[in-house]
């Protein structure tokens, strides 16, 4: 997630956005309006991000461990034999 400044009628407004993959494209989605003051916007953004992290892994959910990434017992034995030589 990231903060974006948008200028409307000469005034700055801050929004929280996130990148979302839709098929082969990456699109940016608005998450929340953060206000007109950058310092306040940063505080609000931090609160929203922390809340999202706590709620069911919305931001960067934990990936499921893949079986292919584990080294098999046979591979471990082969590596140990090579080290012993």
Widest CA span in the chain: 74
pLDDT tens, position by position, 6-59: 999 999 999 999 999 999 999 999 889 999 999 999 999 999 888 888 775 655
Please give the tally of structural domains in the chain. 1
Supply the pLDDT for residue 60: 54
Count the residues in the chain. 85
**Across 54-74, average pLDDT:** 59
Q: What is the domain range of residue 58?
A: 2-84
Q: Is the pLDDT assigned to residue 69 strictly greater than 90?
A: no
pTM of the model: 0.58
């Amino acid at each position: 997630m990231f903060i974006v400044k948008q200028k409307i009628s000469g005034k700055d407004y801050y929004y929280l956005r996130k990148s979302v993959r839709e098929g082969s494209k990456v699109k940016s989605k608005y998450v929340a309006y953060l206000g007109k003051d950058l310092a306040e916007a940063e505080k609000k953004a931090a609160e929203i991000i922390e809340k999202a992290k706590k709620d069911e892994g919305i931001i960067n959910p934990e990936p499921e461990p893949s079986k292919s990434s584990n080294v098999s017992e046979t591979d471990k034995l082969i590596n140990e034999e090579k080290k012993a030589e």
